Structures are given as C-alpha cells and as structure tokens.
Amino acid sequence: MAPVGDFDLEYAAAPESTAPVRLASQYGLFVGGEMVEPAAGRLAPTVNPATGEALAEVSVADAADVDRAVAAARTAWEGGWRDLPGAERAKYLYRVARLLQERAREFAVLETIDGGKPIRESRDLDIPLAAAHFFHYAGWADKLDYAFSGRRAAPLGVAAQVIPWNFPLLMAAWKLAPALACGNTAVLKPAPTTPLTALLLAEVLRDAELPPGVVNIITGDDAAGAALVAHPGVDKVAFTGSTEVGRAIAAEMAGTGKRLTLELGGKAANIVFDDAALDQVTEGIVNGIYFNGGQVCCAGSRLLVQETVADTVVGKLQRRMDTLRVGDPLDKNTDIGAINSQAQLDRITELVASGVAEGAELYTPECVLPERGFFHAPALFTNVSTAHRIAQEEIFGPVLSVLTFRTAEEAVDKANNTPYGLSAGIWTEKGSRILWMADRMQAGVVWANTFNRFDPASPFGGYRESGYGREGGRAGLLPYVELVA
C-alpha cells in the first residue's frame, strides 16, 4: 500500500503554440516546381485526429496528374539532374536540411496537428531526424564513386515513392534524400491522412531552389498511389506501408524491370532476460510499444520475458503505465497522443476485443480519454498464447502482448515465430548473449538494451513479410543506384 503524501504533483497544460503554422484552406499538387490544380479538380479534407476537425482540403490526384508529375520528373532528370556533379546535388540537400532545421517548430506543430503524434516526439525525433537524413545523404552525394569499391554508382531515373502516415515527414526524408543524392528524380505520394508536412516540404524545396521537377509531390487516395507505382515512366518504386499493399505492388512489378523496395509491417519481439536492468527495461518496453501510440512498423509489440522475472516486469510495467499521460498531442507533457484515424482506431479496438474474447487478460490504466478525437488507452495483455490473433497480427496501436520463455533457445523460436521480420530488442547485461541472440534473430534491425532508436547512418529494413531493401547509411544508397563496372 503506497503511503499517502501531502502534495499532489500536477502538471501544467503546456500546449505548444500553433502560431508558427499558417494553413491554407486548399492545397494543390507540387509538380514541376509549382503548385498546380489537380486535373479533375477533386479535393478531400485532411483531419486533425485529436479533434476530428478538418484542417484543410488537399488535392486528390488522378491518372492525368500522375502522368504530369512523372513527365516533370523525367524532364528534370534528363534535363540536367542526372549529369549534375555530386557536390552540386549535395548543395541542394544541405540547403534543404538547414531549412528544415530553421523551420523545425513549424514542421513539428504541423506534424502533430495533422497526424496526432505527441509534440514531444515530432519536436524531438521526427523533424530533427528528417533534417539529419538530408545532411547524411548530402554527404554521400559526392562520394558515390567510392561507396562501392571498384564499381560506379549510376542513377536509375525517376523514383516513385509512396509513404505512410505514421512518420510523414521523416518517411519523406528517408525516401527523397538518398534518391536525390544518387542522382534520381522523384514523385512522392504522402498518405491520404497526413499530407500537410509533405506540402510544407514542397515550400522548402522551392526555397532551396531545387530545380523544378526534381521532386514532385502528389497527394491523393490509394488509387493515386496505385497509378503512380504502375506508371510505365517510373524506373524505381519505393513503398512503405502495409504488407497487403506491398504484396500487390510486388506482384504488379513482376516482369516490368522496375526496381522495387518495400518496407512493410512488423510484429517485433522485445526479449527480456532475467539479468537485465529491469527499471530501464521497463522504460524500454514503454518506449518500444507506446512510442507514437504503437503506430510504428518496428514497434516492440510482443514482449518476451524470462519466466523468473515475468511477474516483476509486468508489475513494473503496469505501475509505469499508470503514469503515462494520454491526451492532447500538442501538450508537451503528453506521452500518448491521438490515433491517426477513425479507421485505425476501429482496427485497434477490434483486435483488443479479440484478445479478450480469446482469453488473454487485459490491463489498462485508469485514464480519462478526451471526448473528441481518436484516442486509445495504453493496453497490456498477459496470458497470451502465440496462437492468439494479438500475438500474430500487427495491431499498429498502443497494445502490448506479454509472453514468457524459459531458455534462450525458446526465446529465439518464439521471437522468429512470425511471418514478419523487421526488428527485435534484446535486454541482458551479458554481452555474449546479445551477440548470440542477434545472430539468430530473423529481423532487419536488432536493438540491444534499447528500442526504437534511429540514426541516418544505420540501415533499416526487413526480412520476409516485412519487405526488402534498406534505408539509411551506405546500404540505403543501393536501392537508388545501378552498379556499373
């Protein structure tokens, strides 16, 4: 029984000001260096998921718009970008990176109101990391001849890039920076629910005086994305999103000669051994699954904890969950913001209900959710079996399933028992065990004694149904170059 103190710590509502953001009521498409109206004139609202209110109307591109954008990218590529010396391309990328830093606050606020993620995350992670990616690849632009020993890296042409809604600007940076550094031009399509930071990025690209058509940004629905990747004028397709859509794209690409990279779903295991630093483990698990409300493809959604410390760890976790603050994403004290859309919230709710129905035990802290907007309390399932849907399917929400193991071999088996293979976490104080485990993890990223850490120099990507190709670092150049003798 916790003793009762005589002082209650109350945090201030500390909302970040939305003053730096100037929203237009309508947005066009960014094609050939200009904002243009969509051919069919179709518009769709984008909504603030924390309130459910529409923020602005954005264009819905159709096949004709895709044609225009791809043609602009082709013209820009043939018209000079592909022949520009690397050092010259780097200058543009450095400029973009610096402009992103200068306007970081504006980007962070916009990311939060359009996507629902806590301002703490957009401010401290999304935007700085997006800028860091441009800096990183600016550095590669003039060193491509030395990146792959004995071989020259030639650009591919026009890259079609379709990105998800969970890290809108960051994913745009992950896609655009290496493509441009390698001498390609691009047509980028942001997700339907989070187009605004990509459109603000268009402004930055213009301010950076990037040659017209080198980057084109078209907004729209899934049909626009499908038209883009299927377009015959595209040389390379990069997609980040669901496994289902990724599979369809892969089928369609077959035999076209287009290069393809896919970054898809995940069901990562966070594996805790009994010798680990359990208090930091607790923080790491929380960061692994409740970061961005669990709407992260590499989220540590399956906790595998060694039997001997399972009760201790679950106890610590529940206690920590009680202090998580769910609510207004613009509040600097908020830990868990809004779920990106009603559709996503419905999916999370449905999977949580399935967990309860299949016999797992649900823990969720008492917290008052805002009346408006799309919110879901952090959830923890114990008594989970590997056969349960919540242990198999990607939930993409703040829902953690706890499983136990006895031996390291069993941990490896359970961790790899998923069609996915994007990431894994290993928590132990024993260095040799980290290496032993990492060797056996079928996952593209393995974190040791931490989780959800990203760096532009570190490659990111998946195994099996989590996709193929790497983003970040030198490995992230490969999807955008042809190696020639």
Partner 1 sequence: MTDLLAIETPTGAADAVAGVRITPVDAVGLEQRAAALCTRSIKTSSKAAALDLAIRVMDLTTLEGADTPERVEALCTRARHPDAVDWSVPSVAAVCVYPELVPVAAEALAHSAVAVASVAGGFPAGLAPLEARLAEVAWAVAAGADEVDIVLNRSAFLSGRYQKAYDEIAGAKQACGSAHLKVILETGELGSYDQIRRASMLAMVAGADFIKTSTGKIGTSATPAVALCMAEAIRDMAEQTGRSVGLKLAGGIRTAKQAWHYLVIVGETLGPGWLTPERFRLGASSLLNDVLMQRAKLRDGRYQRREDYSVD
List active site positions.
263, 297
Nearer to partner 1, 242 or 450 (CB): 450
Main-chain phi, psi angles of 53, to 5 degrees: -90, 145
Query: Least distance from C-beta 319 to partner 1, angstroms?
Result: 8
Binding string, residues 40-79; x marks residues near partner 1 by CB under 8 A: ----------------------------------------
Binding string, residues 88-127; x marks residues near partner 1 by CB under 8 A: --------------------------------x-------
Could you say whether residue 332 binds partner 1 (CB under 8 A)?
Answer: yes
Nearer to partner 1, 36 or 272 (CB): 272
What is the secondary structure of 294-347 as a DSSP string? G--TT---EEEEEGGGHHHHHHHHHHHHTT--BS-TTBTT-SB---S-HHHHHH
Could you say whether residue 9 binds partner 1 (CB under 8 A)?
Answer: yes
Could you say whether residue 366 binds partner 1 (CB under 8 A)?
Answer: no
Q: For residue 49, what is the DSSP state?
A: T
Nearer to partner 1, 152 or 453 (CB): 453
Of residues 410 through 439, those in contact with partner 1 by CB under 8 A are 429
* Spatial distance between the Cα atoms of 432 and 443, rounded to a whole number of angstroms: 19
Query: Least distance from C-beta 335 to partner 1, angstroms?
Result: 9
Stretch touching partner 1 by CB under 8 A, among 5-13, 143-151, 154-162, 417-425: 5-13
Binding string, residues 299-318; x marks residues near partner 1 by CB under 8 A: ----------------x---
Query: Least distance from C-beta 203 to partner 1, angstroms?
Result: 30
Query: Least distance from C-beta 256 to partner 1, angstroms?
Result: 46
* Spatial distance between the Cα atoms of 18 and 319, rounded to a whole number of angstroms: 33
With CA atoms as reference, report the closest residue to 418 among 288, 254, 301.
Answer: 301
Binding string, residues 261-300; x marks residues near partner 1 by CB under 8 A: --------------xxxxxxx-xx----------------
Sheet holding 185-189, edge to edge: 34-36, 29-31, 215-217, 185-189, 158-162, 236-240, 259-263, 467-468
Q: Is 247 helix (H, G, I), strand (E, B) or coil?
A: helix
Which whole-number Å values give the CA distances from 19 to 23, 196, 327, in the listed order?
Answer: 10, 16, 20
With CA atoms as reference, report the closest residue to 134 among 104, 113, 162.
Answer: 104
* Spatial distance between the Cα atoms of 53 and 69, rounded to a whole number of angstroms: 30
Binding string, residues 218-257; x marks residues near partner 1 by CB under 8 A: ----------------------------------------
Nearer to partner 1, 250 or 278 (CB): 278
Query: Least distance from C-beta 133 to partner 1, angstroms?
Result: 22
* Spatial distance between the Cα atoms of 17 and 432, rounded to a whole number of angstroms: 48
Q: For residue 370, what is the DSSP state?
A: P
Give Cβ neighbours of residue 483 (< 8 Å, ≥ 6 apart). Answer: 148, 151, 152, 153, 154
Q: For residue 62, what is the DSSP state?
A: -
Stretch touching partner 1 by CB under 8 A, among 2-10, 91-99, 230-238, 246-254: 2-10
List interacting residues with partner 1 (CB under 8 A): 2-14, 120, 275-281, 283-284, 315, 323, 332-333, 429, 449-450
